[in-house]
Structure 1
Amino acid sequence: MDALAINPENTGALEIIAVSYENLGLKDKALDNFEKLYLETDDFQTLYRMAFLQYDLEKYLQCSTNIDILMQAPEAAEATASYTFEEEEKEFSIKVPLINLKGLVNVAQGNNDLARQNFEEALQLAPDFILAQQNLDDLNK
């Protein structure tokens, strides 16, 4: 039987469904389920995933709002994100990819000056965060 049909608030099942949809590339369905999960759990990592999905789905206002919420959350002071560059995994303060994402949102909305500031801020926090450097280079072309 469907676990959610029996217990619609089953957060474990919601997370499995959301991640499965995301892995299948069904980002809109993944986002819907992550939103349901977030409403049940108020989980920092869930909101983090939602922000990136919202960017991918061009929901820039929601993405930007969630970035602001994440940046102000107490968890942001300690949380990290792992990224692999050239087969080497590195951990960064969660703020670095969030600031970079804010820059991408600003690029998408035509706010190139703000985007440049975001990418530069991300690089000030983590000079070896290659994505911010690549985004800044692309912006300066």
Structure 2
Amino acid sequence: MLKKYTVHYQKKDLVLVSESQNEVGRIIKNRKLFHFEEYITFNSKKYDIRNVGFLKNDVELFDSNVITYFTDLAKKRIIKSGQGVKIYYFKLKKTWQLTEKGELLIEIREEKRKGKESIFHLEVDHSVDDLLTLLFLHYSTKEFNSIGGDGD
């Protein structure tokens, strides 16, 4: 059984909404004069996003100062840290997919709309943590992920 979500822009934020139109979480991009911060709000908690690595192409997701998830663009994977470490692999083509042990967990399709912001459609395995869904959405929509993509 799959959970179905849509994502739309609300100003600069990406908002993840369930089929019943309830907000699940949001990705917030806050730009102030000399300060830029990105974070995810989920279950009334704030998870900070930090860009790291070569050319800042990877991200770390923090809960307080504990890394919850981090990405490895070179090996195309997202790693859940802490107890019960898990490794997920992603493909960023026309549809963005996240798998674990060959099983499809998340699929994201972008609906481009003329003169308007895109809307994203997600199908997510019921076993997937919504925080991971939000992180994968954030990472998939980052500008650098289109670099070198074959677009197929």
TM-score by length of 1: 0.26
Q: Name the one with the larger helix percent.
A: 1
- Structure with bigger gyration radius: 1
